[in-house]
Amino acid sequence: MKTIGLLGGMSWESTVEYYRIINEEVKKRLGGLNSAKCLLYSVNFAEIEYYQRTNQWEKAAQVLMEAARKLQRGGADFILLCTNTMHKLADQIQGAVDIEFIHIATATAEEIRKANKKRIGLLGTRYTMEQDFYKGALEDYGIEVLIPTEKDRELIHGVIFTELCLGRINRESRKEFQRISRDLIATGAEGIVLGCTELGLLVKGDDGVVPIFDTTRIHAQRAVERALEV
């Protein structure tokens, strides 16, 4: 079994989900007392969020590059960055290490293609929904990406940072996300991508009539597949 390197803490609420899903999947596949071999480096999210908000992405990159190097030195065979937004810095992080970096958007795009969907609605932080680093990765697979209105993008971004990253699950926010998803479906979305690793805490697979692509689960399952490869 290979050792999984988890670069987490953005926020720790969703990093916990990575750890849970990965170990559940290993147990499901191998049975008995089997669990994952993994290393976790968890950053201080307050520092990263400040760099996001003040557009100091290169400083954030330096923090994550050094964290990735520490995972490699610790014996990780490959790395997962346990957040969607910070994949804006994926090239810098991959360039800092000699081990594989499993990109969350690539893993998600492959799942969308397996489901034979061509047009999806993307929910996430404002950075993920509006900038090209994430949408472009999906579009490279021939997937058309729809995003919510500006007002709804603001609402989603706020819920992520003021509720979900703090472990707060609000029923009214869940209803708003259901409404936003229905609006995207009405404009042609054939599936909804939860493009923020905290969104799976709020949005469940039975919330709509189209497939929900939970990037946290997809990414974690891909890590298990890689770890168990012979």
Of the candidates 15, 38, 82, 83, the residue annotated as catalytic is 83
Whether 61 contacts 89, CB under 8 Å: yes
Residue 165 annotated in active site:
no
Same domain flag for 49 and 11: yes
Distance CA 35, CA 16 (A): 15
Do 94 and 111 share a domain, yes or no?
Answer: no
Is residue 129 domain-shared with residue 185, that is, in the same domain? yes
Selecting among 15, 196, 197, 216, the annotated active-site residue is 196
Amino acid at 125: T
CB atoms within 10 A of CB 142: 10
* pLDDT per residue of the chain (230 residues) written in tens, 0 to 9: 999 999 999 999 999 999 999 999 999 999 999 999 999 999 999 999 999 999 999 999 999 999 999 999 999 999 999 999 999 999 999 999 999 999 999 999 999 999 999 999 999 999 999 999 999 999 999 999 999 999 999 999 999 999 999 999 999 999 999 999 999 999 999 999 999 999 999 987 655 678 999 999 999 999 999 999 97
Identify whether residues 96 and 114 lie together within a single domain.
no
Number of CB atoms found within 10 A of residue 39's CB: 18
Query: What pLDDT score was predicted for residue 204?
Result: 76
Who's near 24: CB < 8 A, 6+ residues apart?
none
Q: Which residues constitute the domain of residue 198?
A: 105-214
Domain count, the chain: 2
Q: Are residues 119 and 208 in the same domain?
A: yes
- Amino acid 165: pLDDT: 95
CATH number at residue 173: 3.40.50.1860
Question: So what's the pLDDT on residue 208?
Answer: 60
Same domain, 37 and 93: yes
Q: Residue 78 phi/psi, 5° resolution?
A: -160, 170
CA–CA gap between residue 61 and residue 174 (Å, rounded): 32
Q: What number of CA atoms fall less than 13 Å from residue 46's CA on the CB side? A: 0
Buried residues in 56-73 as b, exposed as e (16+ CB within 10 A): eeeebbebbbebbeebbe
Ordered alpha helix ranges (H), the chain: 12-30, 45-53, 57-74, 90-95, 104-114, 126-130, 132-139, 150-162, 171-186, 215-227
**Residue 53 burial by CB count (10 A; 0-12/13-18/19+): exposed, middle or buried?**
exposed
pTM: 0.94
